[in-house]
A and B are shown apart, each in its own frame.
Chain A
Amino acid sequence: MEQHTAYSDVLHEDTHGGGTKEVIKVTIILSVLTIVEVFLGFWMIGMEENGFGKHFVKGVIIILMLAKAFYIVGYFMHLKHELKNLIMTIIVPCLLFVWFITAFLFDGNSFRTLRNKYNPVYKQMTTEKAPATEEKKDEKKPGQE
């Protein structure tokens, strides 16, 4: 019974955002962000591998990606117009991603550095040009561990 009253409360609660206008606005924002991302992707093609410019553009693309994620979750999934309780119960656990990403990427990086330092064979195999003919299969035997 209690549940029934709580439920009908929910139904009549009017937590709409800005309606169709808002949807159009968000659609335009998402499209523009995607176009900018693709443009940056094209721009990046000619850049020097591992140079500062390329890393910088990649950083910009990641920021744009997060902006897109914000608009999708906030407006399309309506989270921005929900109660703060609900927002927090979703967002706070997602903060684990900060640790998750940082720790693992650092780990990958350190693995690469250590491997290059102590395993010159590995370093040579992964940096020298592949033979032009079809002997790739033999080249990459996992014996160098």
Chain B
Amino acid sequence: MATTTATATVAPKYWSGGRSPFNVEYGKLMMWYFLMSDAFTFGAFLIAYGTTRFAANGWPNPNEVFKSYPGAGEHPNAPLVFVSVMTFILIVSSVTMVLAVQAGHEMKKSRVVFNLILTIIGGLAFLGCQAWEWTHLHAEGAWWGHNPFLNSNGSVGHQDFTNFFFTITGFHGFHVFSGVIINIVMLIMTLLGVFEKRGHYLMIEKAGLYWHFVDLVWVFVFTCFYLI
């Protein structure tokens, strides 16, 4: 005990108190921890999906299920095309978010506004794509509890294929939706000059972390559902 008080004056760099050992503000650290817990939620979903797939003798071939795009004719055959577009939309909106955060560091309000608007448009575009895809699959007879697609070995389609698809992409879509809402709130606050008065744009950084996480999850969902 006595030794600890004695060494306190020598001050080990980050853990002696008086400053943040993580060198980030409270809100950002908590955002990281929230995202970590969210990662485990998504992880649980995706691992349940993987386990079910490993336990099944047959599984529908994604290239035969997801092969349509808006404006396609009666028999579209374009696997991966539409979902690649969705992936790029999300990556690009992530990039504009990074640019908004950087503009915030430089206290350039108009750049922040511009990039935030682009990010919001990207998010809405992604949601639109997903809405179209869901509608299309629903029209084909796919929904929770209904799987019209045969397994790739020709047997009756596994029920959980559509259950997992709609649950996981739905949960991700809900994250995108809340991300867009958060970004709109950030945009309004920026326009009102709240961050300028505060002297920093750290709030944008936290919103950005959330937005990148949504992109990150999509990387996994894209791979697990459409590619492999």
CB distance from B171 to the nearest CB of A (A): 18
Contact residues in A for B91 (Cβ distance below 8 Å): 27, 30-31, 34
CB distance from B101 to the nearest CB of A (A): 8
CB distance from A137 to the nearest CB of B (A): 10
Contact A126 B58 (CB under 8 A): yes
Main secondary structure of the interface of B (DSSP, over half): helix
Interface centre among A9, A37, A96, A116, by most chain B C-beta atoms within 10 angstroms, is A37
Contact residues in B for A34 (Cβ distance below 8 Å): 84, 87-88, 91
Instruction: Tell me, in angstroms, the Cα distance from A78 to B40 when the chains sit together.
Output: 20
Contact B95 A27 (CB under 8 A): yes
For window 67-109 of A, CB contacts with B under 8 Å fall at 68-69, 72-73, 76-78, 82-83, 85-86, 89-90, 93-94, 96-97, 100-101, 104-105, 107-109
Contact A89 B216 (CB under 8 A): no
Interface size in chain B (residues, C-beta < 8 A): 66
Contact residues in B for A86 (Cβ distance below 8 Å): 22-24, 29, 32
B152 within 8 A of A: yes
B11 within 8 A of A: no
The tally of CB-CB contacts under 8 A between chains A and B is 174
CB distance from A56 to the nearest CB of B (A): 12
Contact residues in A for B99 (Cβ distance below 8 Å): 20, 23
Contact residues in B for A23 (Cβ distance below 8 Å): 95, 98-99, 102
Contact A38 B36 (CB under 8 A): no
Interface centre among B18, B36, B156, B215, by most chain A C-beta atoms within 10 angstroms, is B156
Instruction: Tell me, in angstroms, the Cα distance from A112 to B19 when the chains sit together.
Output: 54
Cβ contact of B200, chosen from A11, A68, A90, cutoff 8 A: A11
Chain B, Cβ-Cβ closest to A34: B87
Contact B58 A127 (CB under 8 A): yes
CB distance from B63 to the nearest CB of A (A): 5
- List the 6 shortest-distance A-B pairs measured between CB atoms, nearest first: A108-B54, A108-B51, A126-B57, A108-B55, A129-B154, A86-B22
Give me 13 A-to-B residue pairs in the complex whose CB atoms sit less than 8 angstroms apart, sorted by A's number.
A6-B18, A13-B23, A44-B227, A86-B32, A94-B36, A104-B48, A105-B51, A123-B57, A126-B56, A126-B158, A127-B153, A129-B154, A130-B154
